[in-house]
A and B are shown apart, each in its own frame.
Chain A
């Protein structure tokens, strides 16, 4: 089709999207957003045993303006919600969010009026990480899954088309309860 078919083998060809994805994922600085017990596991992931710096996350940025990834570690109370949103808004694009732990993902066992039932009510979440609290390996696993997602993100018009496709697919799918209703397992 294009140039790549006329070249002899051994040439390293790639697309701009792949290069941009690789660059973005290789140096992704997390913002510290430890709110509860999950923060201890997040700190442990930053320590020498689990060493998140192996994945290009050299340091946990204390300022949101130099951070690319917000790891929401812990339950978000209603009072903390506007602060969380402000931190997210202060981060520079492109930015990603990991909801670490069940409390950040869906409210977890705190199904009450004080806790936001999932941070996706406030900010768009890229990876949900269950566990109470998830062990550092689980956080590393979530980070690697996010890396994979970032690597394969499209750009510009392609990205818009991708978003449209995902939207249409989501609109067509039935809720899980309705899907399993007629089917005997």
Chain B
């Protein structure tokens, strides 16, 4: 009886869709932030005075299920110090063609040197440039940080250093003031 109305009903669906909100993301122009705990590119963190947190223990490389991490440790000397303590990561490479961004290396890291960022735009046309070296992975120097090698600024002994490093807010510490603080504390 009212069969002739069916096409009109069909267009009704089309018509109402025009007033619905579009779910499409506008990706390259508007980059929606990821979830806060998204597993993106890695980052090698620093202490507030700029020394590296990585001690070259290779636990991340051992934890990696895809064998994507390559670490070579080196010895710190008094003249050339990259991290507090005895050892530092001299060579640190992550092969993003192998890395499955699972985060097991982050769990394995004893000094919280390795964490993940929310950066995900990693595509490249070259296999070699997807092996990220230490310079690419290291966190940028925040104000107050000084590029290593330099002596420990947050305390003379290691224990003191670690305690000061934890108490100071990360961005606000400068090398000189940290030295004064440690003297005052003594």
Contact = CB atoms under 8 A, between A and B. Distances in A.
Chain A complexes with chain B: yes
A118 B125 CA distance: 14
A49 B23 contact: yes
Interface residues of B, number: 37
A9 interface: no
A148 to B, nearest CB: 10
Contact of B91 (A118, A140, A142, A180): A180
Contacts of A87: none
B67 A111 contact: yes
A17 interface: no
B102 to A, nearest CB: 7
B120 A102 contact: no
Contacts of A48: 23-24
Interface in A137-174: 137-138, 140-142, 144-146, 149, 173
A136 B66 CA distance: 22
Given A118-B97, A180-B133, A185 B90 contact: yes
Contact of A130 (B25, B122, B125, B128): B122
B99 interface: yes
A106 B65 contact: no
Contacts of A135: 120
B27 interface: yes
A137 B27 contact: yes
Interface string B104-143: 0000000000000000111111111011011100000000
A8 B135 CA distance: 48
Identify whether the interface residues of B are mostly helix, strand, loop, or mixed: loop
Contacts of A129: 122-123
A102 B97 contact: yes
A127 B133 contact: no
B65 A109 contact: yes
A120 B127 contact: yes
Given A48-B23, A54-B24, A132 B100 contact: yes
A49 B124 contact: no
A140 B28 contact: yes
Interface of A: 48-51, 54, 102, 105-109, 111, 118, 120, 126-132, 134-135, 137-138, 140-142, 144-146, 149, 173, 176, 180, 184-185
Interface of B: 23-25, 27-28, 31, 65-67, 74, 80, 90-93, 95-102, 120-128, 130-131, 133-135
Given A49-B23, A130-B97, 13 more contacts: A106-B127, A107-B98, A109-B98, A118-B97, A128-B97, A128-B130, A131-B120, A134-B120, A137-B121, A138-B121, A138-B122, A138-B123, A141-B28
9 contacts: A48-B24, A49-B25, A50-B24, A102-B100, A108-B66, A132-B100, A145-B125, A180-B93, A185-B90
